[in-house]
């Protein structure tokens, strides 16, 4: 057959449906999606069209036509937004928007810097799932800190059924490299800094997509790049990265060079760390996304998060505590004086040790006395010349805290000549403290201020303080009421009978026990500050101690103030206002409030920018601020603070934050809210029932869900069972049942129904429940090679009662079709009025096409089918 005309629709056994570009006689040039192929004319089958149906004047089967229209709309919605994916989480507008923004073109390269609690793992899954399903991505590498790698693996499997292999050095020791057989991998980027591991990775096949969590670890330094940065840089230089998506809540860590180096990894064509930063920031919207928690909404535009309330719980030291802290402060001051006479690494090591001791003392007497006791044992062994240990960059803030807790007994460097005697004096004073006022006040808070049985999350920096709170709560509220999370998942403490005890509990188990209500209290070190969700039933957080880096407070609160939280989060800060640390904290809070006010006054919508401002300041600054404050006269502390923090949140930093926030891409309900699909999995049920009916099967509903036998003509497919029971459109289904019983795109029954219904050659019928005819059309881009990932979008048009045209997006079209009913009356052939009405609708849609802001350079419209109203509905 050689009678093919330009723009005629055809079907090919291999390439699917396409449109004729040019008839060359024995061969035909056809466009299939974004691909253009020259194929044998004999291999093509001509397809009918709506125009043919109108010319023939015949109606098609009403069930088949309505179901085909639904199938086309379902596929279009899911191709753009992934809203019908079988993820086991409630999808939010900003997450859908991030997914669409990142996957709109391919290859893709983005930095996603959403606020804590907005669901970066869900966003990653939404991005990844359709790419894997479509085959666009075969090899994917997820790089994370070591502690988060198992969590990424578990969550992607539970929520999206994406099964990643976890890399470790142990699985890559054989002659055959791990990377030769692994296609979908999660790995610690710190592990891959090792030479052998990196060499094997660099010799592997290229990755279709690389996802990086906590990407601020990849910021470079001006003179020497970090091992972490060079890992990703080497992968890119070796052409091993096709697409790249980075996630971090703190993209700017205080150095413009580091920030631009990170952006250079994402878009080397736009960003260069050696160029002026302000010249490049206007391009951020092309490569960086940031959604702020304060502005996040649901589908109706309602704010998702309530403001967090913070209240200080003040206490004062007892006489014995005050004497202990005075003596401890003198010890630290004398140690600083001794260190100041040294130079180089000797001085640096001692100052780091003194800072660690000062932090431990600020946490609790239990924490500092435990560290000093172990330090005295070390010194008594006279390991006077212990080699200085190389400082290794911690992966996360919790590792830094735990390293500080161990530092006093690891470095046997004398702080002063009579240090052992001084330690004995301090430890004797600690023995005189029968109970710590802070902890007594904490118990009073629970008993007098909180509702009975109220679950509480506590944060401490150090395990010794954690153990103190743990034993106090168990003694007061009963054994088994407290859980804990720390870095090594072990807690050592002295019980009420003065026996030394050790408990072991994986962090996920502790979180599960707390979320389920089996424990009332959960005490976490910074190991729970990231990567764990505790909002299911808890809305009360107590900072037992105040970390010196304010970023930690933000991350701690993020465990509760995240999507799914039903109440306003209440935060309590335990503090002694007489201490230098508390006064510095108050001054810091005041300064952050002033910075926030200055920025809010110049922004269209106020949002919390404290995280970005703090993130632009290195942790060393805060260490210096708090440690040096203890050496300043009390009456001049405010003046010294103002001088010390002159550059913190200064004009350059504020300008940078304002420019970053003003130039990034973000979801905005006012502008993008109309595009976001306002539907979920239940919107598939009407299509599913009709598709089964069309194929000779009846869907029944019982207490457990829907039941149906697989149509006979589909049973040759190995992915399909003969029968399904308990099918649901409910994302809350347990993960172990979801693969079989959760219906959505990706379930073989739904996928087969979409294909079968979409490919039916039906174009024209009547439907009940339509006030006027509706035309379903397809929009595509005439330009190829644009990198677009969605090539065809479904639209529809209908005339309103006032004679104006109503153009509907694909998701609006589906909702309208779900409300329509299959025509059950006697067939009435289309009359000239019907034909005129359909042609008028087609012309109206063509005229409105330029107004629709479609993601195409030259959108082309093709009418696919039409549903006519019945005389009864028109009347």
Average pLDDT of 21-47?
91
* Confidence label for 601 from pLDDT (cuts 50, 70 and 90): low
Nearest to 820 by CA among 760, 751, 866, 753: 866
Which pLDDT value is given to residue 562? 86
Give the range among 122-126, 294-298, 326-330, 472-476 with minimum mean pLDDT: 294-298
Which pLDDT value is given to residue 57? 86
- Which residues partner with 543 through β-bridges? 459, 573
- pLDDT at 711 exceeding the cut of 60: yes
Beta-carbon contacts of 684 under 8 Å, excluding residues fewer than 6 positions away, are 74, 84, 729, 743, 744, 750
Which pLDDT value is given to residue 388? 40
Question: Integer distance in angstroms from the first to the last C-alpha of the chain?
Answer: 47
Per residue in 356-408, pLDDT (tens digit) is: 899 999 999 999 999 999 888 888 876 444 444 444 444 454 556 666 777 77
Domain 90-291 has CATH 3.40.50.10810: yes
Give the range among 30-39, 225-234, 248-257, 409-418 with minimum mean pLDDT: 409-418
Per residue in 196-217, pLDDT (tens digit) is: 888 899 999 999 999 999 888 7
Residue with tokens 């803030």: 397
Which pLDDT value is given to residue 175? 80
Average pLDDT of 340-361?
85
Q: Hey, what CATH class is 1-47 in?
A: mainly beta
Separation in Å, CA 200 to CA 191, 193, 229, 235: 12, 11, 17, 11
Region 304-317+435-576: CATH code: 3.40.50.300
Which pLDDT value is given to residue 296? 87
Where along the chain do its domains lie? 1-47, 49-83+677-875, 90-291, 304-317+435-576, 319-431, 579-671
Name the percent of the chain lying above pLDDT 70: 92
The segment with the largest mean pLDDT, out of 488-497, 526-535, 585-594, 684-693, is: 684-693
**How far apart are the C-alpha atoms of 653 and 591, rounded to whole Å?**
13
Which pLDDT value is given to residue 700? 96
**Matching fold, domains 1-47 and 90-291:** no
Which pLDDT value is given to residue 22? 92
- pLDDT at 252 exceeding the cut of 50: yes
Average pLDDT of 499-522?
92
**How far apart are the C-alpha atoms of 129 and 661, rounded to whole Å?**
29
CB distance 416 to 338 below 8 Å? yes
Per residue in 632-667, pLDDT (tens digit) is: 888 888 889 888 887 776 666 667 777 777 788 888
Which pTM does this prediction carry? 0.84
- Give the other-Cβ count within 10 Å of 231's Cβ: 23
């Amino acid at each position: 057959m050689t009678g093919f005309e330009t723009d005629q629709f055809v079907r090919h056994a291999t390439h699917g449906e396409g449109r004729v570009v040019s008839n060359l006689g024995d061969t035909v040039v056809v466009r299939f999606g974004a691909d253009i192929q020259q194929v044998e004319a004999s291999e093509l089958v001509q397809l009918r069209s709506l125009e043919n149906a109108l010319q023939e004047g015949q109606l098609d089967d009403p069930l088949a036509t309505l179901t085909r229209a639904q199938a086309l709309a379902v596929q279009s919605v899911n191709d753009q937004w992934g809203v019908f994916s079988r993820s086991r989480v409630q999808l939010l507008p900003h997450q859908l928007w991030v997914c669409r923004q990142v996957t709109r073109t391919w290859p893709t390269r983005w930095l996603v810097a959403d606020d804590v609690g907005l669901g970066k793992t869900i966003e990653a899954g939404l991005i990844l799932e359709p790419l894997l399903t479509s085959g666009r991505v075969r090899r994917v590498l997820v790089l994370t800190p070591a502690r988060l790698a198992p969590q990424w693996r578990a969550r992607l499997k539970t929520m999206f059924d994406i099964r990643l292999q976890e890399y470790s050095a142990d699985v890559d020791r054989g002659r055959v490299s791990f990377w030769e057989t692994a296609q979908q991998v999660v790995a610690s980027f710190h592990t891959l800094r090792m030479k052998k591991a990196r060499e094997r990775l660099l010799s592997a096949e290229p990755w279709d997509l690389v996802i990086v969590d906590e990407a601020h670890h990849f910021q470079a330094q001006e003179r020497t790049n970090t091992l972490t940065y060079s890992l990703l840089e080497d992968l890119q230089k070796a052409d091993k990265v096709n697409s790249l998506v980075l996630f971090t809540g703190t993209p700017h860590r205080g150095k413009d060079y580091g920030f631009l180096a990170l952006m250079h990894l994402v878009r080397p064509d736009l960003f260069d760390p050696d160029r002026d930063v302000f010249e490049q920031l206007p391009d951020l919207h092309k490569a960086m996304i940031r959604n702020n928690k304060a502005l996040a909404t649901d589908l109706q535009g309602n704010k998702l998060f309530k403001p967090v309330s913070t209240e200080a719980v003040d206490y004062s030291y007892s006489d014995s505590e005050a004497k202990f802290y005075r003596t401890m402060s003198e010890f630290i001051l004398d140690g600083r004086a001794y260190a100041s006479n040294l130079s180089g690494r000797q001085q640096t090591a001692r100052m780091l040790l003194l800072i660690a001791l000062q932090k431990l003392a600020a946490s609790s007497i239990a924490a500092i006395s435990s560290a000093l006791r172990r330090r005295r044992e070390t010194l008594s062994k006279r390991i006077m010349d212990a080699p200085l240990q190389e400082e290794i960059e911690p992966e996360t803030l919790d590792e830094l805290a735990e390293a500080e807790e161990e530092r006093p007994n690891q470095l046997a460097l004398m702080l002063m000549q009579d240090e052992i005697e001084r330690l004995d004096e301090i430890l004797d004073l600690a023995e005189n403290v029968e109970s710590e006022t802070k902890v007594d006040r904490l118990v009073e808070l629970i008993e007098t201020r909180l509702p009975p049985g109220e679950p509480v999350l506590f944060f401490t920096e150090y395990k010794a303080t954690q153990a103190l709170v743990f034993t106090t709560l168990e003694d007061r509220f009963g054994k088994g009421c407290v859980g804990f999370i720390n870095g090594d998942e072990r807690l050592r403490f002295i019980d009420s009978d003065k026996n030394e005890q050790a408990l072991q509990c994986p962090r996920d188990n502790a979180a599960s026990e707390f979320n389920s209500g089996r424990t009332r209290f959960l005490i976490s070190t910074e190991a729970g500050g990231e990567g764990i969700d505790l909002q299911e039933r808890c809305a009360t957080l107590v900072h037992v101690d105040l970390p010196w880096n304010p970023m930690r407070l933000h991350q701690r609160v993020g465990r509760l103030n995240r999507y799914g939280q039903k109440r306003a989060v209440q935060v309590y800060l335990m503090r002694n206002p007489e201490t230098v640390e508390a006064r510095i904290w108050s001054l810091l809070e005041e300064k952050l409030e002033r910075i926030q006010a200055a920025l809010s006054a110049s922004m269209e919508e106020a949002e919390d920018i404290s995280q970005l401002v703090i993130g632009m300041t290195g942790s060393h600054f805060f260490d210096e601020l708090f440690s040096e404050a203890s050496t300043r006269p009390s009456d001049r502390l405010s003046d010294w603070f103002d001088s010390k923090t002159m550059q913190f949140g200064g004009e350059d930093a504020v300008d940078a934050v304002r420019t970053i926030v003003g130039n990034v891409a973000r979801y905005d309900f006012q502008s993008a809210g109309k595009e976001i699909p306002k539907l979920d999995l239940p919107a598939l049920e009407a299509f599913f029932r009709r598709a089964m009916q069309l194929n000779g099967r009846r869907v029944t509903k019982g207490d457990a869900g829907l039941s149906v036998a697989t149509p006979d003509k589909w049973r040759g497919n190995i992915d399909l069972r003969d029968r399904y029971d308990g099918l649901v459109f409910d994302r809350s289904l347990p993960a172990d049942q979801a693969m079989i019983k959760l219906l959505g795109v990706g379930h073989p029954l739904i996928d087969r129904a979409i294909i079968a219904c979409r490919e039916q050659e039906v174009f024209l019928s009547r439907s009940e429940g339509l006030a006027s005819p509706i035309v379903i059309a397809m929009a595509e881009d005439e330009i190829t090679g644009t990198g677009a990932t969605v090539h065809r979008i479904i639209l529809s048009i209908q005339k309103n009662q006032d004679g104006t045209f109503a153009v509907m997006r694909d998701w609006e079209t589906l909702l309208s079709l779900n409300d329509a009913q299959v025509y059950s009356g006697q067939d009435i052939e289309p009359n000239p009025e019907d034909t005129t009405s359909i042609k008028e609708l087609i012309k109206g849609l063509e005229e409105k096409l330029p107004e629709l802001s479609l993601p195409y350079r030259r959108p082309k419209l093709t009418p696919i089918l039409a549903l006519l109203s019945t005389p009864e509905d028109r009347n």
